[in-house]
Structure 1
Amino acid sequence: MRLAFMGSPDFAVPALRAIHGAGHDIAAVYCQPARPAGRGHAVRRCPVHVVADELELTVRTPPRLRKDPEAQAAFAALGLDVAVVAAYGLILPQAMLDAPRRGCLNIHGSLLPRWRGAAPIQAAVLAGDGETGITIMQMDAGLDTGPMLLWQGVPIGPETTTAGLHDTLADLGAKLILQALDSPPAPVAQPEDGATYAPKLSRDDSPIDWTAPAAVIDRRIRAFDPWPGTSTVLNGNPFKILAARPAEGTGAPGTVIDDRLTVACGEGAIRLTRVQLPGRAALDTDAFLRGHPVPPGTVLGQ
């Protein structure tokens, strides 16, 4: 089958590799342009671009599509049977949705219609959902509103992080998109009720509100691992919280209540188990406390 693959981050890589390995004719790979990244601001290709180059595939990186008739015409000229989209990062105009013979299929990281939008994996963990999954969707002009072709659930446990769930869903998406390409199922309209939206995250979402219940803070830490991360302030310095677990104890919200870096929350408490200061290595809490004692009574977030 002749297709275009459209994706940018790590989430899309297993699908690209699976499609290539299955022998489909990948006419072009579309992804976000290379951008400065890291401390040195060196220009870096996105993960899909790196893999596409490795596989010797044609790569296109238009900075925009909706107001670029030349990019739209170039896409149409590929003569595609289908396009596969996975976390691409650009909205496809109607002309591009209509160009492939079978339209455009999206690999979405939730069980639609729950968690449409930009950050469905984080949203599911943050909300305390017991299950999420992958939906293969026929794209339309709406925001993740198109009919569903395939879907499969994945459980979310009390220790599930976005980092681990991301990899599980990326692999599942690769498996399901091959099924959708090889044996196209009949589309099923999404339910009219139950839709929720997962907005794009930013670093502004990182700070912890210690007045929230411990269970909510625990989910937030797991949901925002690895990005945008969670943070607070310790003795006037930014302080990253990489891992934690609910614990026994009470006290004023944000107050350290023992010598193991257990922090009181609005309800209950949470023990920080892996932390990081700016410019320093991430450390398990026991190792961190040996070099940076944090006595009971210390208030975080100030």
Structure 2
Amino acid sequence: MRLAFMGTPDFAVPALYALRDAGHEIVVAYTQPPRPAGRGKALRPSPVHHAAESLGIPVRCPEKLRNVVEEQEWFASQNLDAAIVAAYGLILPKAMLGAPRLGCLNIHASLLPRWRGASPIQSAILAGDTESGVTIMQMDVGLDTGDMLASVAVPITAVTTASSLHDELAALGAKLVVEVLSENPPPIPQPEQGVTYAARLAKEDGRIDWTKPADAIDRQVRALTPWPGAFTTLAGETLKIGAVDLVKGVTGKPSTTLDDRLTIACGDGSALRIRRIQRPGRGMIEAEAFLRGQPVSPETQLGS
């Protein structure tokens, strides 16, 4: 088929390669414009931009699509069979949604209608869901409201992280969208029951509230690493928490250390032990290494 591909982050890259490997003609890749990154704030092209250029696919990086008639007309002139969209980051206007022969198909990282919106992977882990998945959806003008063409589920376990689930769903989405283009399954309307929305994450979402139960904080750490990162403060210094272990049989005042091994009292009589930690400007390290350089005594308070 003659396709356009529209995506920006790492999540979208496996689908781009899978579509190329399946023999489809990808005539253009749309992606977000290069953004300042790193200490020097040099402009950095997106992962999809890099991948498309490596495959010899022309790249277009409009700042916006709404009310940009020239871009919409160019898109319509390409005689596309379909456009494949994966975490692109721009809203497609109605004129573009209807331009390809088969419309625009979205690879969404949840089991719709649960977790429509911007952060479905993180939201599923935060909520304590026991499964997630990928849905291939026929796009319409709503927010992830279009008819479903296919979906596949995967379990969320006690050790699932946002990074591991991201990679699993990116690979599954790439495989599934190729199957949908080959098999052309009938569209199924999303059920009205079970709709939830995943809001866009902000840095402050990573702040740990030690009055919450330890299992909720564990989910927060697993859901928000690497970004925005779960964090707390110790002696005025902000520390990112990369991994924790739940600890049974010990209790104390929430936010205080219960020993010299970074075991922290949490809400509801629970506790956890920090396993990986990161100081500002440093890399993530094991807690034992951190404590060798900065011992933390019992009854030390965090988060203040």
Alpha-carbon deviations, 1:203-253, whole Å to 9, x = none? Answer: 121111111111110100000011111101011111110111211221111
Letter in 2 for 1:161: T
Alpha-carbon deviations, 1:9-55, whole Å to 9, x = none? Answer: 00000000000111111010000000101222111000000000111
Distance 1:102 1:7 in 2: 18
The answer on 1:278 being equivalent to 2:280 is: yes
Letter in 1 for 2:235: N
Taking the TM superposition and a 5 Å limit, the aligned residue runs for 1:223-302 are: 223-248=223-248, 249-267=250-268, 268-302=270-304
Pairwise CA distance, 1:114:
0.3
Segment drifting more, 32-41 vs 103-112? 32-41
Distance 1:282 1:168 in 2: 23
Aligned residues: 302
- Corresponding residue for 1:114? 114
Pairwise CA distance, 1:270:
1.1
Distance 1:67 1:263 in 2: 53
- Corresponding residue for 2:201? 201
Distance 2:86 2:111 in 1: 15
Distance 2:38 2:202 in 1: 16
Letter in 2 for 1:261: L
- Corresponding residue for 1:212? 212
- Corresponding residue for 1:134? 134
Distance 1:17 1:208 in 2: 38
Distance 1:70 1:217 in 2: 48
Distance 1:117 1:175 in 2: 22
The answer on 1:52 being equivalent to 2:44 is: no
TM-score by length of 1: 0.99
- Corresponding residue for 1:6? 6
Q: Find the residue that maps to 1:4 and give its secondary structure.
A: strand
- Corresponding residue for 2:95? 95
| Aligned-residue identity in percent | 59
The answer on 1:26 being equivalent to 2:30 is: no
> What value does the CA root-mean-square deviation take over the aligned residues?
0.7
Q: Find the residue that maps to 2:70 and give its secondary structure.
A: helix
Q: Find the residue that maps to 1:172 and give its secondary structure.
A: helix
Distance 1:42 1:273 in 2: 34
Distance 1:4 1:105 in 2: 10
Q: Find the residue that maps to 1:143 and give its secondary structure.
A: coil
Q: Find the residue that maps to 1:149 and give its secondary structure.
A: strand
Q: Find the residue that maps to 1:74 and give its secondary structure.
A: helix
- Corresponding residue for 2:70? 70
Letter in 2 for 1:269: A
Distance 1:72 1:270 in 2: 53
Unmatched tracts of structure 1, length 5 or more = none
Distance 2:23 2:178 in 1: 11
Distance 2:29 2:283 in 1: 37
Distance 1:72 1:262 in 2: 56
Q: Find the residue that maps to 1:100 and give its secondary structure.
A: coil
Q: Find the residue that maps to 2:133 and give its secondary structure.
A: strand
Segment drifting more, 35-44 vs 160-169? 35-44
- Corresponding residue for 1:43? 43
- Corresponding residue for 1:147? 147
Alpha-carbon deviations, 1:158-208, whole Å to 9, x = none? Answer: 010000000000000000000011111000011111000000001121111
Distance 2:179 2:74 in 1: 28
Distance 1:203 1:70 in 2: 36
Segment drifting more, 244-253 vs 167-176? 244-253
